[in-house]
A and B are shown apart, each in its own frame.
Chain A
């Protein structure tokens, strides 16, 4: 082998890059295929969705979305014919299957519940987390290490382990099936993560910034607001995404504690399956719409998220 080309010790070789790239692309494909399949299924007709072999090329239809947002009743063709002309695309599609739209489904209110509960709990967790992380980072808190360990220890068991006590407690307190109850619960689960993540970020911000601001005539709270917070945005954004993803996806507690008014989308979506046969396009449509908020939020904050998860590795 010739030794004419100098090898860099730190830069990866072309071969290494190729192998790494191949692995990443393969992993990305494996990850995205189920999502693409769900997305495709949401635009299939119910017969296409259960066709075997599965159809990759199919006729586009928004029947799944129609079914997701409506409840329908089966009627005799005579009755349907006696009705006036169809009022819209969904109406027409449904009538072809001898059904009429009876009213809106529960999907929209459940989706709104999810939005309120997930964003509400994320806000609370990040708000409380930022303040306590700042406190732990800057002040001499008595027993700080023990307190931080205690906060961390709440993550050491799966939250579902306390499902039964929480169920009983919530029933007693009247928090069952309320948005407030779910926000409190998700905040409680997320706040430990938020404190720990944010403490790391705030520790990295030199205290000279606040000291300079305090000497320049600001109170500590003003100094925190004007000098620490702007520099902690990366950490706050990353923390918010982690909290949001947990609260948005959470299924077990939602299924246990919510059944009616405060039910979130995750326990609702499976119930679609049961309504009038296995309506896979409607389930897929629900799942697709369910993915949108988290996707938008993540895309908006992707830079912060990337810096957040590689935190410490690339700074300075």
Chain B
């Protein structure tokens, strides 16, 4: 196993820049997820780590070794494809043993290693089956088997659960994480599904338009989004934004939104007057008739334990997650009280988060902008 160090990685296809000066480190044994909408450059980054694409600039270090321009087969990595790429003309046993065959391993040893791997993944009863008859989850396990049988330096996975049914997907998320806990393999996992990312990752890199917007633990990314994009992309429903204007002075503890004074975490930097946004997660909103921030109920979405309430304010729809017991009718006027300790402030122009007291305890997981 090894650490993966990506430095100022860049990839352009003609005029189109797919990945812009990305840098991040995947620690040895870490489960690292690259998350972003389709076309954000996450798969291209993964393919460059694998050696399936060559970067336009930057470096990739695997276990301290520069492999930037090396061929895929010389990198000692394993790749799990979205469509699994199981060879249809081989049975399960041959599929799993295929990478070992390349190393010229004696067939008795291949047999043993394949069987060990199959046992680990609980597919030993399928070894002599044809891959074309397998169910989605089993195909996934065979693809994983082919990846782990070689004991490579790291695993790269490109949306490996993307084609599975929802029920299988939840099962495989659990299985993948469990497998990782057992073998502690450095893993880079690409997905556009935030639930997969949040539930499996040790660290997440959120990408957009070829730029890593934020790089940190799932908790950091959820609680302290570095940009408005991250705040909007993560969370369901996403973070609400309330516009406000004017600058911010270092030490400020209050802002004015829609004529109402809102206490915010203490601001740690000076911001020149410009358009700003106050970010608030739906679960940090309470209904409080005393609040000056007001709106009318627009609709509700009942989820069992909680409900999502859409409130129409002077600045558009705000979604709040409140206990399911509260009875509300469309058109009711409510006051909104925000949990001051959990608010984020953003500069609307750059989308960047303003440094406040919520960042005080944070480790430096901030993104570098390209």
A: which residues have CB within 8 A of B?
Answer: 206, 208-209, 211-219, 222, 226-227, 230-231
Contact = CB atoms under 8 A, between A and B. Distances in A.
What is the predominant secondary structure among interface residues of chain B facing chain A?
loop
A167 B146 CA distance: 57
B81 interface: yes
B102 A218 contact: yes
Contacts of A216: 73, 78, 98-99, 102, 146, 150
14 contacts: A211-B50, A211-B81, A214-B52, A215-B50, A215-B51, A215-B77, A215-B79, A216-B73, A216-B78, A216-B102, A216-B146, A216-B150, A217-B150, A231-B88
Interface string B16-45: 000000000000000000000000000000
Nearest to B79: A215
A219 B102 CA distance: 9
Given A219-B73, A231-B88, A211 B79 contact: yes
Given A215-B75, A216-B98, A231-B89, 18 more contacts: A206-B83, A208-B81, A209-B87, A211-B52, A211-B81, A212-B81, A212-B146, A213-B98, A213-B102, A214-B52, A214-B72, A214-B73, A215-B50, A216-B73, A216-B99, A216-B150, A227-B87, A230-B87
Given A215-B51, A215-B52, A208 B83 contact: yes
A170 B240 CA distance: 80
A230 B98 CA distance: 15
A300 to B, nearest CB: 19
A216 B50 CA distance: 11
B166 interface: no
B314 interface: no
A230 B86 CA distance: 13
A217 B150 CA distance: 10
B81 A218 contact: no
B44 to A, nearest CB: 14
Contacts of B72: 211, 214-215
A24 B268 CA distance: 84
Nearest to B84: A208
Given A217-B73, A217-B99, A218-B102, A212 B79 contact: yes
B12 interface: no
B150 A208 contact: no
A211 B80 CA distance: 10
A222 B75 CA distance: 17
Interface string B47-76: 000111000000000000000000111010
A213 B85 CA distance: 9
B85 A209 contact: yes
Nearest to B150: A216
A215 B89 contact: no
A233 to B, nearest CB: 9
B305 interface: no
B364 interface: no
B363 interface: no
B255 to A, nearest CB: 51
Contacts of A215: 50-52, 72-73, 75, 77-79
B184 to A, nearest CB: 21
Instruction: Give the size range of B's interface with the partner.
Output: 20 to 34
A208 B46 CA distance: 14
A204 B269 CA distance: 56
Contacts of A211: 50, 52, 72, 79, 81, 85
A213 B87 CA distance: 9
Interface of B: 50-52, 71-73, 75, 77-79, 81, 83, 85, 87-89, 98-99, 102-103, 146, 150
B85 A208 contact: yes
Contacts of A214: 52, 71-73
B102 A217 contact: yes
Given A213-B98, A215-B52, A230 B89 contact: yes
- Among B99, B102, B150, max chain A CB count under 10 A is at B102
A211 B87 CA distance: 12
The 9 closest A-B pairs by CB, nearest first: A217-B102, A216-B99, A208-B85, A230-B89, A212-B85, A208-B81, A215-B79, A215-B72, A214-B72
Contacts of A218: 73, 102
Nearest to B95: A212
A220 to B, nearest CB: 9
A226 B89 CA distance: 10
Contacts of B73: 214-219
B99 A206 contact: no
A219 B71 CA distance: 9
Contacts of B87: 209, 226-227, 230
A122 to B, nearest CB: 23
Contacts of A219: 73
A160 to B, nearest CB: 41
Given A211-B72, A212-B79, A206 B85 contact: yes
Contacts of B103: 217
- Among A206, A216, A219, A231, max chain B CB count under 10 A is at A216
A222 to B, nearest CB: 8
Contacts of A226: 87
A212 B143 CA distance: 10
A189 to B, nearest CB: 32
Nearest to B80: A212
B136 to A, nearest CB: 16
- Among A218, A219, A222, max chain B CB count under 10 A is at A218
Contacts of A231: 88-89
Contacts of B79: 211-212, 215
Contacts of B71: 214
B47 to A, nearest CB: 8
Nearest to A212: B85
Nearest to B99: A216
Contacts of B150: 216-217
Nearest to B87: A227
A222 B103 CA distance: 13
Nearest to A214: B72
- Among B72, B87, B88, B150, max chain A CB count under 10 A is at B72
